[in-house]
């Protein structure tokens, strides 16, 4: 994964945060436009270069065609990278290819179906099942860096320059550094995509209710639940991620019980009023922020995820008291992880509780005929899109 790879780089620890951010932006741009960049380079390469050379050329071309880097800088750093990485025999080739890309400029993109090129074919086919034109709308949204969305603590004013979205989130331009915003240390807000706020909202928890968040880190949804005054238990299996959740709750001054455990085997002391299951998934809905998500998953990965999702659904049903509420959510665009999972939920003693139109009056296009939530990056095209989420609500049969 891009984040993991970058954080493991020896330079990551010593680099200035701005340089780290620039490295991330550069790698993300190359991944976001991977298909387009490969098509542009193709005619300039007589034979396939070794992988590191190809990667450097992709980074160089991304700078020239999408990041507005001055040509001399993009060409110079690409050639320099070859020398520093022991690839000096390829310095001449890199110089020649980069100069051709610089000379061709935006003209090289003419006639390319960039939407199709940048999406792996299996994902394109699967997104076509979401509705006419949806695959292309998603691809278009994925070609831009995502904005920074914040969820505000009630009563707090929006940071300057923030756009208030119909669903109540605050949107700031891509690249905004959240830690530098006034109010960050005071816990006035947390980072959360506008679409990611919807599943917890649909659980409608009330002060005093006992609620569990089963797959909780880094805790955006936990914070939404806790801020209502409910008694929240946050479960997370990964100790490092749980640590991040605890730090976030501390900054936000929210009191949450945390447990480092596999939620599929945990049992509460007493049956719960409500459970949020934000299940582990392929995360294809978050590709605006994580463009690597599209390229590191394969169709065969879905089967193992589906198994985990089913066992978490069974466990969640067991934790609830009769009449207790459950929201199942995934940040995935894949039908196998959403509709296909929840259709089987009756077997686990869960009854569908369809979302009503008035509950999604600020985003009516996200309500499906079945009463589920389905967002995708192509929604709100004029505002910069949103992450892809699926959610369904249930009540435990008595």
Which residues are documented as binding site for S-adenosyl-L-methionine? 215-221, 236, 262, 278
Gap between the Cα atoms of 34 and 1, Å rounded: 15
C-alpha angle 351-222-314 in degrees, rounded to nearest 5? 30
Q: What's the Cα-to-Cα distance from 354 to each of 327, 358, 394, rounded to whole Å?
A: 11, 12, 8
Closest approach of ligand SAM to the CB of residue 246, in Å: 13
Q: Which two tokens stand for residue 364?
A: 């009516």
Gap between the Cα atoms of 195 and 169, Å rounded: 9
Contact map string, positions 313 to 352, toward ligand SAM, x by CB under 6 A = ------------------x---------------------
Between 149 and 236, name the residue whose CB sits nearer to ligand SAM. Answer: 236
Q: If binding is defined by CB under 6 A, does position 238 make contact with ligand SAM?
A: yes
Q: Which two tokens stand for residue 213?
A: 């968040």
Closest approach of ligand SAM to the CB of residue 230, in Å: 15
CB atoms within 10 A of CB 362: 12
Contact map string, positions 196 to 225, toward ligand SAM, x by CB under 6 A = -------------------xxxxxxx----
Binding residues for ligand SAM restricted to 77-116, rule: CB under 6 A: none
Binding residues for ligand SAM restricted to 16-55, rule: CB under 6 A: none
Between 156 and 264, name the residue whose CB sits nearer to ligand SAM. Answer: 264
Between 60 and 388, name the residue whose CB sits nearer to ligand SAM. Answer: 388
Please confirm, yes or no, whether 260 is among the known catalytic residues: no
Gap between the Cα atoms of 108 and 48, Å rounded: 20
Between 25 and 241, name the residue whose CB sits nearer to ligand SAM. Answer: 241
The label of the residue with tokens 């509420």 reads 325
Binding-site size for ligand SAM (CB under 6 A) equals 18
- CB under 6 A: which stretch of 133-141, 231-239, 293-301, 372-380 binds ligand SAM? 231-239
Closest approach of ligand SAM to the CB of residue 212, in Å: 11
Closest approach of ligand SAM to the CB of residue 241, in Å: 4
Between 216 and 350, name the residue whose CB sits nearer to ligand SAM. Answer: 216
Angle between helices 51-65 and 71-84 (to 10 degrees): 160
Phi/psi-derived region of residue 52, left when phi > 0, alpha when psi is between -120 and 50, beta in every other case: alpha
Closest approach of ligand SAM to the CB of residue 235, in Å: 5
Contacts of 124 (CB under 8 A, 6+ apart): 116, 135, 139
Closest approach of ligand SAM to the CB of residue 312, in Å: 6
Q: Which two tokens stand for residue 257?
A: 């019980």
3-state secondary structure string, 134-180? HHHHHHHHHCCCCCEEEEECCCCCCCCCCEECCCCCEEECCCCCHHH
Between 158 and 264, name the residue whose CB sits nearer to ligand SAM. Answer: 264
Nearest to 59 by CA among 79, 44, 84, 85: 79
CB atoms within 10 A of CB 335: 16
Q: Which two tokens stand for residue 23?
A: 């490295």
Annotated binding site: 215-221, 236, 262, 278
Binding residues for ligand SAM restricted to 253-282, rule: CB under 6 A: 262-264, 278, 280
Q: Please, are residues 133 and 164 in contact by the beta-carbon 8 Å criterion?
A: no
Task: Output the residue with the shortest Cβ distance to ligand SAM.
Answer: 215
Selected catalytic residue, list 142, 302, 327, 331 = 331
Could you give the dihedral angle defined by the CA atoms of residues 76, 79, 80 and 85, in that order, rounded to the nearest 10 degrees?
A: 160
Gap between the Cα atoms of 4 and 9, Å rounded: 9
Between 24 and 244, name the residue whose CB sits nearer to ligand SAM. Answer: 244
Closest approach of ligand SAM to the CB of residue 86, in Å: 37
Q: Which residues are catalytic?
A: 331
**What residues line the site for ligand SAM (CB under 6 A)?**
215-221, 235-238, 241, 262-264, 278, 280, 331
């Amino acid at each position: 994964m891009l984040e993991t790879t970058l954080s493991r780089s020896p330079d990551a620890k010593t680099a200035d945060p701005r340089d780290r951010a620039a490295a991330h932006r550069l790698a993300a741009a190359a991944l976001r436009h991977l298909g387009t960049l490969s098509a542009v380079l193709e005619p300039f390469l007589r034979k396939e270069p070794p992988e590191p050379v190809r990667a450097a050329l992709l980074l160089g071309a991304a700078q020239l065609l999408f990041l507005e880097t001055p040509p001399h800088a993009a060409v110079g750093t690409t050639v320099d990278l070859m020398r520093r990485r022991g690839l000096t025999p390829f310095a001449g080739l890199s110089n020649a290819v980069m100069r051709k890309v610089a000379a061709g400029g935006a003209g090289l993109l003419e006639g390319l179906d960039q939407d199709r090129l940048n999406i792996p074919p299996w994902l394109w086919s699967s997104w076509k099942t979401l509705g006419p034109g949806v695959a292309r709308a998603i691809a278009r949204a994925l070609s831009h860096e995502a904005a920074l969305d914040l969820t505000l603590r009630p009563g707090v004013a929006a940071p300057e320059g923030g756009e208030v979205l119909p669903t109540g989130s605050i949107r700031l331009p891509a690249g905004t550094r959240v830690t530098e915003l006034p109010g960050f240390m005071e816990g006035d807000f947390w980072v959360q995509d506008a679409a990611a706020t919807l599943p917890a909202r649909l659980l409608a928890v009330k002060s005093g209710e006992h609620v569990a968040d089963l797959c909780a880190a880094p805790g955006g949804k936990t914070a939404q639940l806790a801020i209502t005054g409910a008694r929240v238990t946050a479960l997370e299996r990964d100790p490092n991620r749980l640590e991040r959740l605890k730090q976030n709750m501390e900054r936000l001054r929210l009191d949450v019980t945390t447990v480092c455990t596999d939620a599929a085997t945990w049992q509460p002391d007493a049956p719960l009023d409500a459970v949020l299951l934000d299940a582990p998934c392929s995360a294809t809905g978050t590709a605006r922020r994580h463009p690597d998500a599209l390229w590191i998953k394969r169709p065969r990965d879905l089967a193992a995820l589906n198994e985990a999702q089913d066992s978490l659904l069974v466990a969640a049903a067991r934790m609830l008291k009769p009449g207790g509420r459950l929201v199942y959510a995934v940040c995935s665009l894949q039908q196998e992880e959403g509709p296909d999972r929840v259709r089987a939920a009756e077997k686990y003693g869960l009854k569908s509780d369809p979302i009503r139109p008035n509950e999604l009056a600020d985003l009516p296009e996200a309500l499906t005929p079945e009463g589920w939530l389905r967002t995708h990056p192509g929604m709100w095209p004029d505002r910069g899109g949103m992450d892809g989420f699926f959610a369904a609500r249930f009540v435990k049969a008595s």
